[in-house]
Amino acid sequence: MKRAILAICLAGSVYCAGCGSSNETKSASAAANPQAASGVYVATDARGIQTVTVAPSAIPEYLEITGRILADPTRVVHVFPSAVGRVAEMKVRPWDRVQKGQTLAIVESSDASRAMADYEKARTDADLKKKALDRAADLFAHHALAEKDLQQAQADSRSAITEEKTTLDHLHLLGADPAGTTNELRVLAPRSGVVLDIGSAAGELSKAVDAPQPLCTIADLDIIWVEGDLFEKDVAGLKKGVPAEITVNAYPGEKWTGHVAVIGDAVDPATRTIKVRVELSNPQLRLKPDMFATIRVLRSATRGLLVPTASVEREGSDAYVFIKKDNNHFERRKIALGRTVDDRIEINSGLAAGDIVVSDGVVLLRAEAQE
């Protein structure tokens, strides 16, 4: 019985000694590393760590409007032949770039034959009237012709010259060559630009301006429109003339700048939106009609604290940053996030102006914090 009691006492002594040793070890560890106990981490190598000082700055609030690229309608020309005829040849193809005066198509037309015949007749008549006037003037100078006969010859000559000019203008309007001998009409480009569409082919009969579609459509794309749909609730936050930033899906990371040129005066009853237009210069023709685009305009700006997005460490629904305390000592602090502005993010709480935040090298401190 005495031996059993002695064994129990010895076991209790050993257990108590073990507990005391464990507590002493924890106390010694905390005493040796007080920064770790208080949530401050010491970077073993701070050469890869960069910091920024937090300061109040303007936080812009943008309005983003979905839109698309359009050709300026005032720079789009639908080309029709000037006379009824049959298309002999199309000289251009879709997306060809053409210059003003370039031949787009050749059309065989009886109107051209009649116009050239009228011009030739008028030119011959003008020559005859000119010779008659010369003879009348000579006779009048020798007192062999009455003055009224000279005046009649002058009037006939002027009339013939006018008729010749009228028929020549008609030939030019049709696109026929005054010196030509065929019934072919040349359809010329009325302006420089890009051929958007072809509406006819060789062998088809063209009815001039009565045709259901043009021979071709030419657009000058050096200036283009970006047209977007603005919701009713956002009308009050947008004004004509404000700067606008344009991005397109085709060129990620690239931006174009312009100004809001027009805010529509009517609401689309189907979509409840208002048209917004920005005009852009497009000298290299990189922006193509019907490309999807986004119009971003500044709605307002407020003051707040912004830090680089690289400074923020996320764990589930929580967010943290590392604050520099002194050389190689950093504190991990919980924060509340706000809006994201480009490559920076707003801090709603957890930071104050003047705090020094790690902007590069968070991964190094995260490794230290997890050890």
Using one digit for the tens of pLDDT, what is the confidence trace for 124-147?
999 999 999 999 999 989 888 899
At position 146, the amino acid (one-letter code) is A
CA-CA distance, 52 to 84, in Å (whole number)? 75
Asked if residue 26 has pLDDT above 80, the reply is: no
CA-CA distance, 245 to 67, in Å (whole number)? 12
> pLDDT tens digit string along 297-333?
988 778 888 899 888 988 888 898 888 887 778 888 8
Asked if residue 23 has pLDDT above 50, the reply is: no
- Cα dist from 162 to 129, 148, 166, 187, 201, whole Å: 12, 21, 6, 26, 38
> pLDDT tens digit string along 352-361?
888 888 888 7
> pLDDT tens digit string along 179-193?
776 788 888 999 999
**66 Cα distance to chain centroid:** 11
CA-CA distance, 125 to 141, in Å (whole number)? 24
Asked if residue 150 has pLDDT above 80, the reply is: yes
- The secondary structure of 150-218 as a DSSP string is HHHHHHHHHHHHHHHHHHHHHHHHHT--TT--S-EEEEEPSS-EEEEEE---TT-EE-GGGSSS-SEEE
Q: How many CB atoms lie within 10 A of CB 300?
A: 10
Closest CA to 239 of 260, 268, 215, 267: 260
Q: Which two tokens stand for residue 214?
A: 């043009």
Cβ partners under 8 Å of residue 348, min gap 6: 335, 336, 337, 338
pLDDT band at 40 (very low <50, low <70, confident <90, very high): low
Q: Where do the domains of the chain lie, and which CATH numbers do they carry? A: 41-61+302-370 (2.40.420.20), 63-73+220-300 (2.40.30.170), 75-109+185-219 (2.40.50.100), 110-182 (1.10.287.470)
Residue 282 has phi, psi (to 5 degrees) of -135, 60
Closest CA to 222 of 307, 272, 285: 285
Q: Helices 110-141 and 147-174: crossing angle, nearest 10°?
A: 160
Per-residue model confidence (pLDDT) at position 72: 94
CA-CA distance, 197 to 159, in Å (whole number)? 44
Asked if residue 37 has pLDDT above 70, the reply is: no
Q: Which two tokens stand for residue 147?
A: 């003055």
Per-residue model confidence (pLDDT) at position 370: 58
Q: What is the enclosing helix (H) or strand (E) of 256?
A: strand 256-263
> pLDDT tens digit string along 80-107?
888 888 898 999 999 999 999 999 999 8
- What are residue 321's DSSP bridge partners? 333
At position 354, the amino acid (one-letter code) is G
Most confident option among 167-171, 245-249, 361-365: 245-249
User: In this structure, what DSSP letter does residue 365 have?
Assistant: H
Q: How many CB atoms lie within 10 A of CB 46?
A: 18
34 or 96, greater pLDDT: 96
Query: Helix, strand, or coil here: 232?
Result: helix
Asked if residue 30 has pLDDT above 60, the reply is: no
Answer whether 276's CB lies under 8 Å from 264's CB: yes
> pLDDT tens digit string along 44-72?
555 667 888 888 888 878 889 999 999 99
